[in-house]
Structure formats: C-alpha cells, structure tokens
Chain A
Amino acid sequence: GEDVEQSLFLSVREGDSSVINCTYTDSSSTYLYWYKQEPGAGLQLLTYIFSNMDMKQDQRLTVLLNKKDKHLSLRIADTQTGDSAIYFCAEPDNFNKFYFGSGTKLNVKP
C-alpha cells in the first residue's frame, strides 16, 4: 500500500508561521488532504488540493504540492494557540482507501 510520512512534532510561537510537511508514494491520487485532530476528537477536514495544482490558499492555510518530489506541505500563517492539534496528511488510492501519515503534533507556545 501507499506510504505517507510526516515529521512527528513541530513547536512554534504564537503569531509565527507553521509549516507541516508530508511525503507520499502514490502519484495517481486525484486529491490530497489535510485533516486536523484535536485531543479526544475525530478528524476535521481542513483543506485539500487537486493533484494538478501546485498551490492552494484558503485564508490562513496554504497548501503546496510538488508532484515531482511527491511532497505536500501545509503552511498556517499567524499560528494561534487554538491551532495546537495533530495534523494528518492523507492520500486516497484508486479504491478510495485513505492512507494517513502518522500525524504531526503542532504545539503553539503563547
């Protein structure tokens, strides 16, 4: 199956930008997704990017996709303490099974 990898931890100060990185293996995915998980909660869809796009901006969120390197990143501008959570990138295969990274735990210090 597909392999999706993320770094485990990221710590930033409030107001700074956060960049969470992800690498994946399956280049045929039509969409790539970012989900947010707060403690004890389910997954909340944050944003997604269509595979023929390089960049997508949605308010404070910017997604960059480098298909050649199979690299996806999520940038959060002006990071707030409420952004502290675990962030997962996800890649579906052709049969709609989602493959998740292990998650990046974002800690925002006041």
Chain B
Amino acid sequence: NAGVMQNPRHLVRRRGQEARLRCSPMKGHSHVYWYRQLPEEGLKFMVYLQKENIIDESGMPKERFSAEFPKEGPSILRIQQVVRGDSAAYFCASSPGALSGRANEQFFGPGTRLTVL
C-alpha cells in the first residue's frame, strides 16, 4: 500500500508565476489536508478537503491560493502569482475518515519544497 504521494518534491518558480502542487492520498483515504511549513517553524493547517468538497479552508490565505480534490485524480494546491513569502514546504496528509478506528490519524506525504526566486 503506497503512502501519500506528492509531486513535485521540489519546485522553483519566479515571482508572478503559478505553482501547482499535487497530492495523491493513500489508497482508501478520502480526506486530504494541506499544511504549510515555513523555515524553522511547525506546520500550519491550510485546508481540509473531501472528494469534490472543501470542508474547511480557514487556514488558506484569502487571495492567490486555491485547492481542489476532484472525483478522479490527485488533490491540487494552486498558488497564483507567487511571491517570495510563499517559499515553504507544503505537506499533504490523508486520513481514512470518520469510520476508521482512529479517525484523527493523518499520514503525511514527503512534501513539496517551493522556492520562489
């Protein structure tokens, strides 16, 4: 059973470009979470999605950031017109959902390290 997969692992963008980060949850998991880790800091929640639904986006910046988790395919975190302050590691986590024994457990991907030049 493959773990949570993220790609690309490293992404370099110039200011003003768009960044697309992909996350494939573990098989059988229908809940996806995105977190951002700034250098020397802990992870901060951004958004929680289930298939075709955004459940909680309270941690997302109001502008330039969007996320989706379509019926087919990976979850996408999209950052438009990137700025230097967007440079961070972006982690995706998945969980099986409320019917599992340990509903809260989240399994993390390896992260995408975004560098904005």
Contacts and interface: CB of A to CB of B under 8 A. Distances in A.
Contact of A30 (B33, B44, B104, B113): B104
Interface in A41-87: 41-45, 48
Given A41-B110, A42-B110, A99 B104 contact: no
B25 interface: no
Contacts of A31: 102, 104-105
**For A41, A44, A45, A100, which residue has the most chain B Cβ atoms within 10 angstroms?**
A100
A8 to B, nearest CB: 9
Interface stretch (B35-43, B68-76, B79-87): B35-43
B41 A96 contact: no
Contact of B104 (A40, A42, A96): A96
Contacts, number: 62
Nearest to A97: B45
Main secondary structure of the interface of B (DSSP, over half): strand
B109 A42 contact: yes
Nearest to B91: A42
A45 B102 CA distance: 13
A45 to B, nearest CB: 7
Contact of A48 (B33, B48, B102): B102
Contacts of A33: 105
Residue among B42, B56, B58, B103 with most chain A CB within 10 A: B42
A98 B56 contact: no
